[in-house]
């Protein structure tokens, strides 16, 4: 039902009239030093693809690469962190596979279920839809600052809280409110995933930066030039699809390209339903969220930023 032609978050295979399987896989190198926390973040990131499509995670399989020079207990803590996050999502870990590698890597292959007529994809946005982002941006910049020992413990804890928070509550909110389309915001950055939504749906997304939810500390670090390499790669890859309108501060533009780890959901929803979505998010979602733009008739650009 859903393949790779629209760069969607996961593949969907229809089993029968009542059930379709969502299948996804994601893993990466550590973004924090604590192995248990890394496991939680990596698991939350992998589970997000199922939540973005309106599905319910059912099973997960561990994918791990681990150096022989490190104590096995570190791997055990990574797997424990992942298992706890999978349990929190209401799913179960049913196995996995580990290979020896020079650098640790961890993630999950996740299987979820969704009704075939209730799948939410990045191709579902319609002209006039309002865009809502459910987590703040700036995670990649803060991770870079933390690795450079430029950020304090409070910033570290705030960043971990955002990355390890499941998109489950946001997914439930968008399903109840009747979202038109959705994508999660991860390594390609906010503008990268927004551009994929625009191209998949055949419209242009107008982004308003004045209400953009941002981790406050990332703004100052961006001003200092603490930008991850992935942000520059994201910019180079999609900048010809982006039109910047008005005087956008450079640090905000950098944050728009910042690669996110386990970022939030970018939801497209009819204007008549947006208040219901915001109310549901207010009641359920534990991270900052905001209206960040709308969907409009196709122009020469995938994204227009104001």
Examine residue 43 and state whether it is found in any structural domain, yes or no: yes
pLDDT exceeds cutoff 90 at 300 = yes
Domain assignment of residue 122, yes or no: no
Instruction: Calculate Rg over the CA atoms of the chain.
Output: 19
Residues 211, 105, single domain; the answer is: no
Q: How many helices (H) and strands (E) does the chain have?
A: 10, 12
- Structure tokens belonging to residue 1: 């039902």
Q: 96 and 161 share a domain?
A: no
Report the percent of the chain where pLDDT is more than 90.
96
Residue 227: name the closest of 255, 248, 262 by CA.
Answer: 255
Of 83, 114, 145, the domain-final residue: 114
Model confidence at 2: pLDDT above 90 = no
Residue 6 resides in a domain: no
Same domain, 243 and 163: yes
pLDDT tens per residue across span 70-119:
999 999 999 999 999 999 999 999 999 999 999 999 999 999 999 999 99
Position 2 in a domain: no
- Strand segments, DSSP code E, in the chain are 11-14, 20-28, 56-66, 92-100, 105-114, 130-133, 181-184, 204-207, 242-244, 265-269, 290-296, 303-305
Q: Say yes or no: 156 and 261 in one domain.
A: yes
pLDDT in tens, 55-71: 999 999 999 999 999 99
Summarize pLDDT for 194-240 with one digit per residue, the tens.
999 999 999 999 999 999 999 999 999 999 999 999 999 999 999 99
91 and 207 assigned to the same domain: no
Q: Select from 56, 83, 114 the last residue of a domain.
A: 114
Of 64, 81, 114, the last residue of a domain is 114
**Residue 10 pLDDT:** 84
In this prediction, what percent of the chain has a pLDDT beyond 70?
97
Residues 217 and 110 occupy one common structural domain: no
Residue 288 lies in a domain: yes
Residues 106 and 188 in one domain: no
pLDDT at 3: 54
Same domain, 141 and 279: yes
Tell whether 168 and 254 lie within a shared domain. yes
Question: Is position 123 within any domain?
Answer: no
Q: Which pLDDT does position 246 carry in this prediction?
A: 86
Is 20 contained in some domain?
Answer: yes
Where residue 62 sits, what CATH number does that domain have? 3.30.1330.10
Cα separation of 134 and 132, whole Å?
6
To the question of pTM greater than 0.75 for the whole model, the response is yes
Tally of structural domains, the chain: 2
Residue 1 lies in a domain: no
Q: Which domain holds residue 41?
A: 11-114
Q: Are residues 225 and 107 in the same domain?
A: no
């Amino acid at each position: 039902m859903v393949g790779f032609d629209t760069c969607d978050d996961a593949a969907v295979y229809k089993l029968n009239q009542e059930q379709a399987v969502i299948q996804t896989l994601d893993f990466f190198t550590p973004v924090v030093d604590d192995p248990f926390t890394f496991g939680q973040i990596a698991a939350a990131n992998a589970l997000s693809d199922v939540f973005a499509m309106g599905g319910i995670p059912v099973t997960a399989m561990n994918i791990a690469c681990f150096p022989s020079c490190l104590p096995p207990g570190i791997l055990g803590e990574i797997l424990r962190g992942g298992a706890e996050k999978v349990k929190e999502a209401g799913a179960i870990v049913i196995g996995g596979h580990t290979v020896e590698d020079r650098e640790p890597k961890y993630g999950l292959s996740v299987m979820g279920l969704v009704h075939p007529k209730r799948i939410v994809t990045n191709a579902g946005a319609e002209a006039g839809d309002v865009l809502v982002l459910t987590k703040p941006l700036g995670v990649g910049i803060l991770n870079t600052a933390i690795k450079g020992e430029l950020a304090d413990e409070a910033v570290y804890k705030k960043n971990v809280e955002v990355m390890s928070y499941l998109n489950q509550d946001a997914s439930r909110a968008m399903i109840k409110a009747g979202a038109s389309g959705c994508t999660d915001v991860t390594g390609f950055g906010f503008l990268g995933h927004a551009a994929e939504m625009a191209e998949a749906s055949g419209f242009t997304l107008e982004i308003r930066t004045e209400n953009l939810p941002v981790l406050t500390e990332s703004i100052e670090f961006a001003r200092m030039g603490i930008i991850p390499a992935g942000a520059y790669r994201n910019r180079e890859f999609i900048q010809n699809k982006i039109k910047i309108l008005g005087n956008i501060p450079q640090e905000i533009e950098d944050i728009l390209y910042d690669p996110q780890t386990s970022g939030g959901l970018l939801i497209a929803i009819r204007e008549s339903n947006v208040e219901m979505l915001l109310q549901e998010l207010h009641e359920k979602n534990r991270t900052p969220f905001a209206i960040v733009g709308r969907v409009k008739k196709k122009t020469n650009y995938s994204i227009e930023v104001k």
